Amino acid sequence: MMMPVIDPEFSGLVPPLSAEEYIQLERNILDAGKCREALIVWTSPDGQHLLIDGHNRLGICVKHGIRFEAAKMAFAGREEAALWIINNQLARRNLSDAARIELAMKKADMLRARARENLTHGGRPSKEEKCCDLGTEKGLTLSSNHKLPAVNVRETLASEAGLSEGKLSQYQQILRQGSPELIAAVKSGKIKIGTAFRLIPNEIAKELTKAEGSYEGIKDSDTAAPMLAHLAALLDALTTKKGACHA
């Protein structure tokens, strides 16, 4: 078989292995002298053999000149292939909680888009699409008079990720209020969601201190109003976080 083609969209759906996981996978392949699991490829409509599963294994085999096997899978199109990748990744045991949530959110976005497309053309959403409805609590009524039933979106996302709603809520708050560095650490798995969630008040307090210091120097200028708005937003975030901790 020809060398599989790595598609950026598909490879972007695969959470990276940790350094330790990659080293162990490489050692396993070298010790066996072969890649035990076949790579999964899909022949796209334009004839390309796109890699669906086995991105890390392919890289290791190419690096060390090790032969590999590839099995073909058929998909109706790119969207179906992408959904298969997401579901396959969600079945991994070694994924971080953050990676699971990110995959579940990507899947929900894809199913929402498909549901809109179906309803726009007068079709009915599938059972899976209904589970990731258009994000409303009361359903959505379109000119086709098809109404999606009310769905608890947070509950559905948490179920897809295999986590609790509380964990999902914490992660969403980290994305809203955490610093870029904290968010990156959580997404990489270096810091757990619960730990990062408890760090948010300290981060907000630091931002307030910096913002207050900045305000002292500009309180008589035209930029005072925006700074006050920034302070208000930070105070509101801190209040919200305290409330959540005592809920």
Say if domain 1-78+89-94 classifies as CATH 3.90.1530.10: yes
37 falls in which pLDDT band (50, 70, 90)?
very high
pLDDT at 179: 84
Q: What is the model's pLDDT at position 142?
A: 35
Please give, one letter per residue, the 3-state secondary structure of the chain: CCCCECCHHHHCCCCCCCHHHHHHHHHHHHHHCCCCCCEEEEECCCCCEEEEECHHHHHHHHHHCCCCCEEECCCCCHHHHHHHHHHHHHCCCCCCHHHHHHHHHHHHHHHHHHHHHHHHCCCCCCHHHHHCCCCCCCCCECCCCCECCCCCHHHHHHHHHCCCHHHHHHHHHHHHHCCHHHHHHHHCCCCCHHHHHHHHHHHHHHHHHHHHHHHHHHCCCCCHHHHHHHHHHHHHHHHHHHHHHHC
> Which pLDDT score is estimated for 39?
96
pLDDT > 70 in the chain, percent: 67
- Residue 244 scores a pLDDT above 60: no
Residue-level pLDDT at 202: 73
- Measured in degrees and rounded to the nearest 5, phi and psi for residue 5 equal -95, 130
Mean pLDDT (whole number) for 44-62: 96
| Residue 182: band (very low, low, confident or very high) from pLDDT cuts 50, 70, 90 | confident
Whole-number pLDDT of residue 247: 44
Domain residue extents for the chain: 1-78+89-94
